[in-house]
Amino acid sequence: MLKTTAASKPPRWQRVKSSPLGRQREVFGAAGTFIFWLWLDRKLGRNSTEVRSRRARWLVQKLLDLGPTFIKIGQALSTRADLLPREYVLELGKLQDNVPPFGVEEAISLIESQFGKPIYSLYKEFYERPIAAASLGQVHKALLYTGEEVVVKVQRPVLEDLFRLDFLALGKLVRFCRHWFPWMIKYNLEAIYEEFFNILYQEIDYIQEGKNSERFRSNFQDNHRIIIPKVYWDYTTTKILTLEYMPGIKVDDPQALQDWGINPQEINTIGICCYLKQLLIDGFFQADPHPGNMAVHRQRKGLIFYDFGMMYEITALNKDEMLVTFFAVLRKDTDNVVSQLIKMGLIEPVSDMKPVRRLITFLLDKFTEKPIDFQAFSEIRGELYVMFEQQPFRLPAQMTYILKALTTLDGVARNLDPQYNLVAAAQPFVKSITVAQGPGNIIGTLARQTKDFIQYKLQQPSQTEVIFRRL
């Protein structure tokens, strides 16, 4: 028998049914307040790090108050260093998609209305307390009559209606900004807006998520270290998703991994090679690889992927360009990297490209094989000043989620291993490409050249070894 308890107080956006006008008033009010504070700070010359951090914290809290759409926007903006000051990027990076769970009565009511059956004709047991809750839904553990343990993902009530209101409100806000702030045109906010909602509407269709999961599983069917829970289609609708229960070790807990005899560096290699395959071979990748969406299987010592709502597909042309760029990065080929970034729209050619090339060379030399040291940027202070004046870097809408995935994954990898090395972690992937592409293929040729270069670099003695040899 199910026992119910009082749920936490739901957020305002879930309790209050907004009209289009009311929601637009909320959104424009928040935007207007934020713009006013920015204007006042500029007018009074308040441009310190402390002030920017305070404004950024206010923005994060306001996004949480406005609800799921704006939480997702904040998470996407956390990768946009081309748009926002560093203080905002840092605060938005802390934005967690955690809100109080909604009541179990509402969850059961939605499940029963979706299937037209009492809940206990579907599940032998249904656990009242959710094991996870976020802005889009929550997850309950359950037991099928076959004895199989499952998890049931239940969409939050009124979510679709709220997205529809936010789509209208944000559309008006984007058009308002384009009209009154012409300098924003270069950021192509309309394309980002369309791309964002296209992904968001897919994320709340649980049948689509189930299909994404099966496609992802098929892409990795020959890799026993990549594990995807099974979808139970008889217990799935657009708002309810039933999956195999598959617990694991948190991917951001290196001590727990070591306690189970699992090498965090090996998990890094599995994760990096998995994402390189998603991005550069399959062209179909999980756009939100935060620690809550992954875990480590205790017995198979591989990665479990849980959430396939936010998936992104890359065109064949972009995929090939990214693959060539990846090999150029590993070979530290500055000219080729710059050329490819221009092709992909990430760099806009300027009259003097020397500072751009020097910056790319610096990044390739310093950070492809070791953690980022921000103090090292003092070596190219002059080039950075030129960068801020010229603003040659761009982030096309289609690249937003690619960068979001890469930066999130990089954070997970460095948490597991502070000495994480992309070149070393990518070795198995590069080796697999050299075998798969064949001798006459340009990508295969690039991969073989890159593999030879990596092996050469990894065989080179460290600076410490060189010093000892000279003694």
Active site residues: 288
d(CA 60, CA 67): 11
Beta strands in 224-315 (DSSP E): 226-227, 240-244, 249-250, 284-286, 294-296, 303-305, 311-313
Helices (H), 67-158: 68-77, 86-93, 104-115, 119-122
Could you tell me which residues are beta bridge partners of residue 154?
138, 240
| Distances, alpha carbon 340 to alpha carbons 327, 397, 403, 433, in Å | 11, 17, 16, 20
d(CA 383, CA 366): 15
Could you tell me which residues are beta bridge partners of residue 143?
125, 149
Helices (H), 370-426: 381-390, 400-416, 422-425
**DSSP-based helix, strand, coil % in the chain, nearest 5:** 60, 10, 30
Extract the tokens encoding 237.
């609708």
Extract the tokens encoding 338.
């710059």
If one counts every other C-beta atom within 10 angstroms of the C-beta of residue 285, the result is 25
d(CA 356, CA 165): 42
d(CA 141, CA 393): 46
Q: Dihedral, CA atoms, 273, 276, 277, 282, nearest 10 degrees? A: 160
Extract the tokens encoding 304.
């479990």
Burial class (CB in 10 A: 0-12, 13-18, 19+), 265: middle
Using alpha carbons only, what angle is made at residue 77 by residues 73 and 78, rounded to the nearest 5 degrees? 120
d(CA 79, CA 432): 30
Taking the chain, what is the end-to-end CA distance rounded to the nearest angstrom?
Answer: 76
d(CA 279, CA 216): 12
Q: Dihedral, CA atoms, 197, 199, 203, 206, nearest 10 degrees? A: 110
HSE, CB side, 13 Å, CA atoms: give it for residue 67: 27
If one counts every other C-beta atom within 10 angstroms of the C-beta of residue 129, the result is 11
